């Protein structure tokens, strides 16, 4: 089998790229190692920037998002028992974000791809990518018990940090910058209606907490916990009690979360990582294959979407003009935005979390920074602009 663009990885970035290419009249094949059920149940991000929403609409995947997605015009910061709201539209000239789970984005894109797009093969385990420095790279994969090959004009790796595509780039041709944080998130999904209209990010001496949502009847909540935490050590009542303690308000000491059945509980380690460059020969990296951010800044899915939007434009430009100019600048174009998002995610993480080794001075510095954001329109605007998403390169 031969295709113009071989896409390894059927998560949101690979599927969105396939849809945008289909709309531009460019053929592709998507190879996904997991089965459809696993891919559609994989819980990850839930916040979409305006640019991501626009791209999903352009791909024909906006109808359910528009009907069921929850637009948010701000977030609330809590620290020292106080609350400060960050007004996104007022600080950014009208930008906002949407709450719409990655699971739903993937379901929408899978359905469209299977109905209208090129081949999407689940259970296709890629074993090797060869010939990146030739004009026809080769992908070897196993599907339905048979070893098969796919030749491509280009290969796009959307298969994550540990995927085959990233590792197909010779070590001497790539450099990775990494940071591991000394804490993790304990996350729960609960059948409990949120008692808040927008996300709450809380700093406390007990540790960070985040009150998010998936729908008007389902809450998504997180607690900072030590690395290596076993979810079994956190019974449901302990989780709810700790969330209430970290989210508490002096002005409203009776404020409490609504409790409900916990349907999912897991621990998420946190790290930052960037691999440069994002292109080697005819291999191009996108999403987690090229960069990982801690989830505090809500950038992961949005950065991946930004990569494939730039990439789809570059492939369309090649088809229309015969020029590889935009493909040649793909890595530099994306990395400028990637590094800003990495910095913002690092800032949100280190400002809101309590490092096990930090001193009382460190805590007071964090509180001072949060106070600056709460009282300065300039500092609040910087946070709002980064949270809602910096402009995509033309």
Is 222 known to be catalytic? no
Q: Which of 72, 203, 291, 353 is catalytic?
A: 72
CA distance 251 to 83: 9
Is 177 known to be catalytic? no
Q: Which of 12, 137, 294, 295 is catalytic?
A: 295
Q: Which of 22, 203, 291, 299 is catalytic?
A: 299
Is 181 known to be catalytic? no
Q: Which of 79, 100, 183, 201 is catalytic?
A: 201
What is the three-state SS of the chain? Answer: CEEEEEEECCCHHHHHHHHHHHHCCCCEEEEECCCHHHHHHCCCCCEEEHHHHHHHHHCCCCHHHHHHCEEECEEEEEECCEEEEEEHHHHHCCCCEEECCHHHHHHHHHHHHHHHCCCEEECCEEEEEECCCCCCCEEEEEECCEEEEEEEEEEEECCCCCCHHHHHCCHHHCEEEEEEEEEEEEEEEEECCCCCCCCEEEECCCCCEEEEEEECCEEEEEEEECCCCCHHHCCHHHHHHHHHHHCCCCCCCCCCCCCCEEEEEEEEEEEEEEEECCEECCEEECHHHCEECCHHHCCHHHHHHHHHHHHHHHHHHHHHHCCCHHHHCHHHHHHHHHHHHHHHHHHHHHHHCCCCCCCHHHHHHHHHHHHHHHHCHHHHHHHHHHHHCCCCCC
Is 330 known to be catalytic? no
Active site residues: 72, 201, 295, 299, 387
């Amino acid at each position: 089998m031969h295709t113009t663009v071989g896409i390894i990885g059927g998560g949101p970035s690979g599927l969105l790229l396939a849809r945008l290419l289909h709309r531009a009249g460019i053929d592709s094949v998507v190879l996904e190692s997991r089965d459809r059920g696993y891919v559609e149940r994989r819980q990850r991000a839930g916040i979409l920037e305006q640019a991501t929403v626009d791209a999903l609409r352009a791909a024909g995947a906006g109808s359910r998002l528009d009907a069921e997605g929850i637009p948010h015009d701000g977030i609330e910061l809590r620290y020292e028992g106080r609350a400060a709201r960050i007004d996104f539209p007022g600080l950014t000239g009208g930008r906002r974000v949407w709450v719409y789970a990655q699971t739903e984005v993937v379901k929408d894109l899978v359905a469209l791809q299977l109905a209208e797009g090129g081949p999407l093969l689940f259970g296709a385990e890629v074993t090797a990518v060869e010939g990146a420095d030739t004009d026809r790279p080769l992908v070897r994969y196993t599907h339905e018990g048979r070893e098969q090959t796919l030749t491509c004009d280009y290969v796009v790796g959307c298969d994550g940090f540990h995927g085959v595509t990233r590792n197909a780039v010779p070590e001497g041709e790539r450099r990775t910058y990494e940071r591991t944080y000394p804490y993790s998130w304990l996350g729960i999904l609960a059948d409990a209606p949120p008692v808040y209209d927008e996300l709450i990010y809380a700093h406390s001496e007990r540790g960070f907490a985040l009150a998010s949502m998936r729908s008007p009847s389902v809450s998504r909540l997180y607690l900072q916990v030590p690395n290596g935490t076993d979810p079994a050590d956190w019974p449901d009542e302990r989780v709810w009690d700790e969330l209430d303690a970290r989210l508490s308000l002096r002005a409203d000491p009776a404020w409490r979360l609504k409790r409900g059945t916990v349907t999912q509980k897991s621990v998420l380690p946190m790290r930052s990582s960037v691999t440069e460059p994002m292109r080697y020969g005819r291999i191009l990296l996108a999403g987690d294959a090229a960069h990982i951010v801690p989830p505090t800044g809500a950038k992961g899915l949005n950065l991946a979407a930004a990569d494939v939007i730039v990439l789809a434009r570059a492939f369309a430009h090649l088809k229309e003009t015969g020029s590889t100019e935009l493909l040649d600048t793909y890595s530099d174009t994306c990395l400028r935005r990637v590094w800003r998002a990495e910095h913002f995610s690092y800032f949100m993480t280190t400002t809101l979390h309590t490092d096990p080794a930090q001193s009382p001075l460190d805590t007071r510095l964090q509180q001072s920074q949060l106070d600056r954001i709460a009282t300065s329109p300039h500092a609040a605007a910087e946070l709002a602009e980064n949270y809602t998403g910096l402009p995509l390169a033309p």
